[in-house]
């Protein structure tokens, strides 16, 4: 369900579960994390492109897995987010269709994000009785401003590509996000690779320790919320609608 394609110095990671709008399972998070680690360790890798199959980026975490026992010590999503926040190889996202939950929060860790006008973004954490993850409580106010971040995170309403661009979640709106991501990756590959990585390290270094701390603090609160009556009621309603 995670497909990897190496094109010279560029690694493409495709989330390939279109029948579920690319909802992510624990195993899928671990596969992406492994691929990111390998790309970061490969001194010849100039960039990583992350995209989704079937016209959608990702519908976020597969909610069925939230019904299983969870521990913050061994969760693929947390390991993935820490790795995404750590790598020095540039990461580029190409977004179409649905980008939900972690499908939005991960974008704040990417270096370039391209989307088309089919893209719809939503952070449904509070509507599910949960709380922000992915260091979004820290990063989104800094990217989008406190007022817009509050609207996105507290009201849990969908927003379009224009709103995402205005909130600096996107680099550009384009008719073909994957083509734009590939062009960006090729432009990076034309530069000295280690100079690019060193520059990304310097850009990210001032906030990296804080981001890792926020990731852990949010994860602790998130998994506490998973056990709450509010979250369990929201999940029952969600699964009842799906089975109706």
- Residue whose entry in the numeric block shows the structure tokens 């597969």: 62
Q: Is residue 26 part of a domain?
A: yes
Which letter, b or e, does each residue of 45-81 get, where b requires 16 or more Cβ atoms within 10 Å of its Cβ?
bbbbbbbbbeebbbbbbbbebbeeebeeeebbbbbbb
Q: Is the backbone of residue 21 left (phi > 0), alpha (psi -120 to 50) or beta?
A: left
Distance set, CA 74 to CA 1, 35, 179 (Å): 21, 18, 36
The burial of 221, by beta-carbon neighbours within 10 Å (0-12 exposed, 13-18 middle, 19 or more buried), is given as middle
pLDDT at residue 69 in the model: 55
Q: Is residue 224 part of a domain?
A: no
**Tell me: the pLDDT tens digits for 204-228?**
999 999 999 999 999 999 999 999 9
pLDDT at residue 239 in the model: 84
Portion of the chain with pLDDT greater than 90, in percent = 90
Mean pLDDT for 188-201 is 98
Q: Where are the alpha helices (DSSP H) in the chain?
A: 26-41, 76-84, 102-105, 136-144, 146-150, 161-166, 177-189, 193-226, 229-243
Structural domains of the chain, count: 1
- Residue whose entry in the numeric block shows the structure tokens 């995402």: 164
pLDDT at residue 61 in the model: 95
pLDDT at residue 72 in the model: 55
Structural domain that includes position 62 = 2-173
Residue 70: pLDDT band (50, 70, 90) is low
Residue 12: pLDDT band (50, 70, 90) is very high
Mean pLDDT for 161-180 is 98
How far is Cα 62 from Cα 43, in angstroms, rounded to an integer?
Answer: 33
Q: Is residue 210 part of a domain?
A: no
Q: Is residue 155 part of a domain?
A: yes
Q: Is residue 217 part of a domain?
A: no
- Which residues fall within 8 angstroms of residue 46, CB to CB, at 6 or more apart? 9, 10, 89, 90, 185, 188, 189, 191, 193, 196
Which CATH number is 103's domain given?
Answer: 3.90.226.10
Q: Is residue 244 part of a domain?
A: no
**32 φ/ψ angles, rounded to the nearest 5 degrees:** -65, -40
Portion of the chain with pLDDT greater than 70, in percent = 96
Helix (H) or strand (E) holding 92: strand 91-95
pLDDT at residue 18 in the model: 97
Q: Is residue 154 part of a domain?
A: yes
Query: Token digits for 121?
Result: 């973004």
Mean pLDDT for 47-69 is 90
Q: Is residue 190 part of a domain?
A: no
Other C-beta atoms closer than 10 Å to the C-beta of 155 total: 11
Range in 47-51, 75-79, 142-146, 204-208 with the lowest mean pLDDT: 75-79
């Amino acid at each position: 369900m995670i497909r990897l394609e190496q094109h010279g110095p560029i690694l493409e990671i495709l989330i390939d579960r279109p029948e579920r709008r690319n909802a992510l399972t624990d195993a899928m998070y671990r596969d992406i994390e492994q691929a990111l680690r390998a790309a970061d360790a490969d001194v010849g890798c100039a960039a990583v492109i992350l995209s989704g199959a079937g016209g959608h980026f990702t519908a976020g975490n597969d909610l069925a897995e939230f019904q299983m026992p969870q521990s913050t010590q061994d969760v693929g999503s947390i390991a993935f987010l820490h790795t995404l926040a750590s790598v020095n190889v540039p990461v580029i996202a190409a977004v179409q269709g649905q980008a939900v939950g972690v499908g939005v929060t991960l974008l704040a860790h990417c270096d370039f994000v391209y989307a088309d006008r089919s893209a719809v973004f939503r952070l449904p954490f509070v509507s599910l009785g949960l709380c922000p993850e992915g260091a979004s409580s820290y990063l989104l106010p800094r990217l989008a401003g406190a007022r817009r971040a509050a609207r996105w995170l507290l009201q849990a309403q969908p927003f379009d590509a224009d709103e995402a661009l205005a909130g600096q979640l996107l680099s550009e709106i384009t008719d073909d996000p994957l083509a734009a991501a590939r062009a960006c990756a090729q432009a990076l590959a034309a530069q000295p690779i280690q100079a690019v990585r060193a520059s990304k390290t310097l850009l990210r270094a001032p906030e990296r320790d804080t981001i890792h701390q926020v990731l852990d603090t949010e994860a602790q609160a998130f998994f506490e919320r998973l056990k709450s009556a509010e979250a369990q009621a929201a999940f029952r309603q969600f699964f009842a609608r799906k089975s109706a």
